[in-house]
Amino acid sequence: MESISGWQTLFLGGIASWVVLSSLLNVTQKLRSLTQSWVSRQVISGTPIILEIQKWQHKFLDALFSGMSCVVSVPFYTAFLPLLFWSGHGKLARQMTLLMAFCDYIGNCIKDVVSAPRPSSPPVRRITATKDEKENALEYGLPSSHTLNTVCLSGYLLHYVLSYTQIQDVSTKLVGLAIVILFVGLIGLGRIYLGMHSVIDIVGGLIFGLAILAIWLFIHVYIDDFVVSGQNVASFWAVLSFLLLFAYPTPEFPTPSFEYHTSFNGVALGIVIGIQQTYHQFHHENVPRIFTSELTFPAFVGRVLVGIPTILLVKFCSKALAKWTLPILANILSIPVKSTGYIPALSASSPCKKSDETKQAGYIQKIFFFSHQNMFDVDTGIRLLQYAGLAWSVVDLVPYIFSLLRL
């Protein structure tokens, strides 16, 4: 049994301490009282700018910006990252997965702390072409997650490409930077054109995105070294994932943001556990990469055709297993639980029960002030384990199947 290192104890202890202190001091409510009214005024004052941009309404622009929003959405990255792992670029894939989880958590925390509205519709014309966009519209506005994620992920991708190819030409670097800036600008403009965000939301996404990217470029090497060769990696990350659920702020009103974070929190947990177990078998730097003689494009297509159904099956089985085991475990531990969607038998029978409070709020009180809470929402644990199982299969089970099939 490996001993727990001092920095791990301090880090996890610091998060746990923050959970307690932030609850006792009502940090979320105090931050909201300082920021919400100012941001809301900026959203209202920015409405004329949105209406001016929307005067250029055209079906082509509707399709263009809706498509671009889908390309940089969380569901897209969730589907794209497995392909990146299976293409042989494991380091880039795991870094972008963890960065995506970091962005998603920080961005959604800020959204729910500030709890600032999106532009009012009407008068703003809001275009929600997909189910994902309709759910996004239920979240708070500041910062724009699409802008924040695009800044971080496109910026890190540029850094990786320049480092991987060891390009030293200044003009090439400037061209790459210009492409990233143009892409980020189009995403930000598109979010305003679609009526999803005000200018202040886009500016917030840019500022927070650049800050997160700067932090990540400083720490990403240390994080990667820890994931592939550290001690207590699985246990540390499992405890971290658990604490992050409780450290999440309570929004003014319920939104899907906590669900999104829980899902990607599970993805990060599954990726870390799988990589830590199989790095030397499937994810080291000398694995075959796509478009080489060792991994041809037809072989990669074969990997996709085998891998996608497999991870979807694992996702289904993980969800079913979690739905069966978690209520039993809660019953054994005498923990009162309810379900807001996954298990009808555990749904709240009383119409006045506050499902939003048990779904994504009050976690601190539930742990440390148990007598003051009603029930835990078991859906959170189910969602976490479901996506952890899916992500684990991407980097552990599926590569093992590839090796058996000589793909």
Residues identified as active-site: 146, 197
Burial of 395 (0-12, 13-18, 19+ CB in 10 A): buried
Q: What's the sign of the alpha-carbon dihedral 366, 368, 369, 370?
A: positive
CA gap 143, 197 in Å, rounded: 9
As given in the structure block, the two tokens for residue 395 are 């980097």
Q: Report how far apart, in Å, the C-alpha atoms of 108 and of each of 135, 141, 161, 182, 246 are.
A: 14, 10, 28, 25, 14
As given in the structure block, the two tokens for residue 251 are 């929004």
Give 123-129 contacts, CB < 8 A, sequence gap 24+. 123/47, 123/51, 124/47, 124/50, 124/51, 124/54, 124/195, 125/54, 125/57, 125/195, 126/194, 126/195, 126/196, 127/62, 127/65, 127/66, 127/194, 127/195, 127/196, 128/194, 128/196, 129/62, 129/66, 129/70
Task: List beta partners, residue 337.
Answer: 376
